[in-house]
Amino acid sequence: MTRHFLRDDDITPAEQAEILDLAERLKRDRWAVKPLAGPQTVAVIFDKSSTRTRVSFAVGIADLGGSPLIISTASSQLGGKETPSDTARVLERMVSAIVWRTYGQAGLEEMAAGTTVPVVNALSDDFHPCQLLADLLTIREHKGRLAGLTVTFLGDGASNMAQSYVLACVTAGMHVRVASPEEFSPAASVVDDADRIAASTGGSVTLFTDAAEATSGTDVVVTDTWVSMGKEDEKAHRVATFGAYRVDRELMDLAAADAVFMHCLPADRGYEVTADVIDGEQSIIWDEAENRLHAQKALLVWLLERKDAG
Ligand code: CP
Ligand code: NVA
């Protein structure tokens, strides 16, 4: 049956490990497989801005022998004149997969329910699962393992990145700590889902309001913008609220001595992270950005192997 990747827990722990192993192999041997030879086309649709996601999918699809079709929603019928499911019914007649960056998760679910080709969430308001495959690949490269490590996400705990960290890391058997003001906690349903997964993987999720407590002894320190796309109207309130969660030298010194710093980018230096940390020796952000390419190629290969004949 065709599989989709709309949230981090759409794949099992074993499937996540399989995709990460394949990503590692494709990083070593970049043009090893060409499942999109033809070339077959993959539609990559953007309702929101992007640099990394756009480039990594376009390059990755070309690496796999295919042709990327980058669509800006503003210049298409989607997002006003046509529903996600009607759009999917048309696209599936011509493309091999659909990648979509959008706002609500419901649109992605509608798109996936209406089509026989794999649908990939390239970021929604709720989750950024492709980024997490890249982040896990990067952590594994730097630490040699995932299970048993502790990762601390600081800042907007209700954001797509925080919620994806919660789901993807417990799937990998990691201990996830989220430090945020209470009003920006991850959704209770996401924490419940993570708890269920953690029961079988040995991972855990713990919510904190105190940044220092959450960072103490941790292996991986992560943050993201305080003002995600779509939240621009709330900027003043957010900047006033998140100050205690800024990742600076003092906070990094509470983490394990060999802790790494991660950020999906784009970053606002001086807001969620100081320049000395993000540009410092513990930062692995450029490996993280590169790994978008390898992780998403592995994901596409894996999804295409499971696609219905149609
Ligand atoms: N990290 C990330 O998804 O970056 P873009 O918004 O540039 O795609
Ligand atoms: N949380 C950020 C991630 C950007 C890649 C946003 O949604 O804007």
Q: What is the DSSP string of the chain?
A: ----BSSGGGS-HHHHHHHHHHHHHHHHSTTS--TTTTTPEEEEEESS--SHHHHHHHHHHHHTT-EEEEEEGGGSSBTTTB-HHHHHHHHTTT-SEEEEE-S-HHHHHHHHHT-SS-EEES--SS--HHHHHHHHHHHHHHHS--TT-EEEEES-TTSHHHHHHHHHHHHTT-EEEEE--GGGPPPHHHHHHHHHHHHHHS-EEEEES-HHHHHTT-SEEEE--SS-TT-GGGHHHHHHHSGGG-B-HHHHTTS-TT-EEEE-S---BTTTB-HHHHTSTTB-HHHHHHHHHHHHHHHHHHHHHT----
What is the whole-number distance in angstroms between the Cα of residue 39 and the centre of ligand 2? 31
50 annotated to bind ligand: yes
Buried b / exposed e over 18-54, threshold 16 CB at 10 Å, is ebbebbbebbeeeeebebbeeebbbbbbbbbebebbb
Is this structure's pTM higher than 0.85? yes
For range 184-206, the mean pLDDT: 98
Residue with tokens 């998140």: 242
Q: What letter represents residue 138's amino acid?
A: T
Q: Kindly give, in sequence order, each residue whose CB lies less than 8 Å from that of residue 106, ignoring residues fewer than 6 positions away.
A: none
294-303 per-position pLDDT tens digit: 999 999 999 9
If you take atom 7 of ligand 2, which residue's CA is the nearest one? 228
> What pLDDT was estimated at residue 35?
98
Q: What letter represents residue 41's amino acid?
A: T
> What pLDDT was estimated at residue 80?
82
Closest atom, ligand 1, to C-alpha of 265: 1
224-276 per-position pLDDT tens digit: 999 999 999 999 999 999 999 999 999 999 999 999 999 999 999 999 999 99
What is the whole-number distance in angstroms between the Cα of residue 228 and the centre of ligand 2? 5
For range 153-177, the mean pLDDT: 99
Residue 119, pLDDT above cutoff 90:
yes
Q: Kindly give, in sequence order, each residue whose CB lies less than 8 Å from that of residue 132, ignoring residues fewer than 6 positions away.
A: 8, 164, 165, 167, 168, 169
> What pLDDT was estimated at residue 172?
99
Q: Is 225 in the pocket of ligand 2 (CB under 6 A)?
A: yes
Residue 286, pLDDT above cutoff 70:
yes
Choosing from 128, 177, 246, 294, the catalytic residue is 128
Mean pLDDT of the chain: 97
Closest atom, ligand 1, to C-alpha of 123: 3
Q: Give the model's confidence band at 79: pLDDT under 50 very low, under 70 low, under 90 confident, else very high.
A: confident
Known catalytic membership, residue 93: no
Q: Can you read off the two tokens belonging to residue 295?
A: 């992780």
> What pLDDT was estimated at residue 283?
99
Residue 310, pLDDT above cutoff 60:
no
Residue 70, pLDDT above cutoff 70:
yes
Residue 309, pLDDT above cutoff 80:
no
Closest atom, ligand 2, to C-alpha of 229: 8
